[in-house]
Amino acid sequence: MDELPRSSSESPALDAGTWIGRVVIAVLVAEAAWGFIVSVTNNLVLPLLARTMGGDVQSPLYLGKGDFNVPALLTAVLELCFAGIVAVILNSFLQRKPRLMRSKPVRVSPIPAQPAVPLPSPPRAVAPVQAVAPEPPPIPPVATYSAPAPPPKPPAKPTKPKQPKEVYYNIVGEPINPTEDD
């Protein structure tokens, strides 16, 4: 009564793969057990009853000669054993918990101390000093012909924007001219 209910993530029985595996195990073991029961009945119990009852060969209650079929009985026992072994192996796979990603240990090395680098100080407010550049030697004038400069263009007058032309489309989506007649 004091137990806490488990959540779905904690209970492996609620996993669909686990349920399918358990159903496969149950069917496998049940089939082997049923085959064993049938074999024991046909190959051991029926011949024992035939021997104890005796009987007439022509009677409808005749159960046979009473010979035991030992190879068929051993085959059924081996089938049951193999089914049990396979069931145990499958169950061990189902009981195994999923592997978690294992993290590799990371070596942490200390960062070497970097030498302190002095930061550049902000520039001081000093009046700019103008350097006097030596004057270049005078260049003698050369006679050159220059074409007259084109007169400046008058400023463009703002034009009124035109109304956008209406475009009509047919049912297919092709533009058509409304003034054309077919």
pLDDT of residue 65: 76
pLDDT of residue 154: 73
| Residue for token pair 């054309």 | 180
| Six token digits for residue 66 | 């009473």
Q: What pLDDT, on a 0 to 100 scale, did the predictor assign at position 138?
A: 72
Residue 162: its pLDDT value, please? 80
**What is residue 165's predicted lDDT score, i.e. its pLDDT?**
78
- Indicate the domain borders of the chain: 33-95
Strand partners, 168: 176
Q: Is the pTM of this model over 0.85?
A: no
What is the C-alpha to C-alpha distance for residues 22 and 73, in angstroms, rounded to an integer? 28
The per-residue pLDDT for 76 is 95
Q: How do the pLDDT tens digits run along the chain, 182 residues long?
A: 556 555 545 555 457 888 899 999 999 999 999 999 999 999 998 888 888 877 776 666 666 777 888 999 999 999 999 999 999 999 998 888 766 667 777 777 777 777 666 666 666 655 555 666 667 677 766 666 666 777 777 777 777 778 877 888 888 888 888 777 65
Distance (Å, whole) CA 66 – CA 49: 8
